[in-house]
Amino acid sequence: MMVKLFSPLPGLGLKNRIVMPPMTRHSTCAGGVPTPELANYYVRRAESGVGLIIVEAASIGCRASGSYVGGVQFHQPRHAESWGPIIERIHKGGAKVWIQVYHAGRLTTTEVNKAFPSAPSPLPPSPLESNFMVKRGDRFVHFQTGTPFPVPEEMTRADVEEVQTAFADSCRLAIEAGFDGVELHGAHGYLLHQFSSSLTNQRKDEYGPQGDRYRFVEETARKCRSSIPAGKVLSYRLSLHRVDMIFARYSSEEMDFQELAQRLEQYVDVYHCSELRAGFPMFGSRLSLSEEVRKATRHPIITCGEIKNRERAEALLNSGHTDLVAFGRSLIANPGLVEMLRSGDMKGYVKFEHEKHAARLAV
């Protein structure tokens, strides 16, 4: 049977297959609380017909966990209280809503958190110019603070326990706030991704490549699952690329997506595959990321990456490799994208331009 973009996905309670993925806007008040503009940004997309909204990466409650000045935080009662009314408005608009939680690991600076970064191993980010990391003279610096990325401290076993507990606490708080689910950010080079890759995890203990580099992620997912009641979703986001290494080459010896998915299978309900171009083979592989993950799971898969029209979205849905499609930048630039997709009239489609749309939070 052909899967249509506007067909429901009953198992997740979604009215259609359209997802708004987490896209960091670094637009909060002091302490990581959402501004009215940020709230309106999400509510507008819910009212426009998006089936699922995943709120941008929110840092957990331990030192140096955030990667952005003005980034969302989610680890205190006041954070839950600030999101409660927004969740109600999103639900009233007809969408389900999850929140993504993360720890930056090495992808941050002292100035962002007023604390020194820590990571699986004392390895700095790869020096690669991007929107996140800009080159000034002979140095690569954080795009907001203008300061270099230090060599992080290697996490101790006490740090490991603290971070895992903080992830679980944020998951519990998210459900109390009214979110329908939580996504663990295991992509784009942040802490969970760092532990999973032998390029960024060179520890000599049981959490390293010589022991079990997936152990940290599996333990974290298990603790988060135990903090989320039945009927609420735990999602895990994956990617090959990192913000400090966009054109990464796939190697199962460095990070095996099938093995990782198998290890998470009993704890995770959904896998979210972030691809540079959804459905296209990863660099160094004959398979796309979603194809690789599908080999290990029958759980629903979200796919995102340069999906801009209904034809492409439905081709992906009928490939057998994905169940939901996420429109990222297109939804920033086009609040009315869902109706465009429904009607097939894309004449008003606006191409995303980073600077042009960076401040358009409430439209």
Which residue has 């296209």 as its token pair? 280
What is the pLDDT confidence band of residue 90, given thresholds at 50, 70 and 90? very high
In 137-252, the DSSP E strands lie at: 139-142, 153-154, 181-185, 233-239
Whole-angstrom distance, CA of residue 234 vs CA of residue 172? 11
Please, which residues bridge with residue 299 across strands? none
* Rounded Cα distance, 212 and 181, in Å: 28
Higher-confidence position of 128 and 323: 323
Catalytically active residues are 190
**What was the pLDDT predicted at 354?**
67
C-alpha to C-alpha distance for 67 and 360, rounded to whole angstroms: 22
Query: Which whole number is the average pLDDT over 325-336?
Result: 94
Q: How confident is the model at residue 3 (pLDDT cuts 50, 70, 90)?
A: confident
Reported as a single tens digit per residue, the pLDDT across 194-236 is: 999 999 999 999 999 999 999 999 999 999 999 999 999 999 9
Residue with tokens 């999973």: 196
Provide the percentage of residues in the chain whose pLDDT is more than 90.
89
Within 13 Å of residue 241, how many CA atoms lie on the same side as its CB?
Answer: 17
* pLDDT of the residue at 357: 58
Q: How is residue 28 annotated by DSSP?
A: B
Structural domains in the chain, sorted by start: 10-357 (3.20.20.70)
Dist CA 233 CA 181 (whole Å): 4
Q: What is the pLDDT of residue 362?
A: 44
Give yes or no for a contact between 245 and 126, defined as CB atoms under 8 angstroms apart: yes
**Res. 2 pLDDT band, cuts 50 70 90:** confident
For the segment 1-18, the average pLDDT, to the nearest whole number, is 93
Q: Which residues contact 298 (CB under 8 A, 6 or more apart)?
A: none
pLDDT single digits (tens) 24-79? 988 898 899 999 999 999 999 999 999 999 999 999 999 999 999 999 999 999 99
First to last CA, the chain: 37
Amino acid of residue 106: R
Strands 133-136, 139-142: pairing is antiparallel
Is the pTM higher than 0.85? yes
114-166: pLDDT as tens digits = 999 999 999 999 998 888 999 999 899 999 999 999 999 999 999 999 999 99
CB 341 within 8 A of CB 313: yes
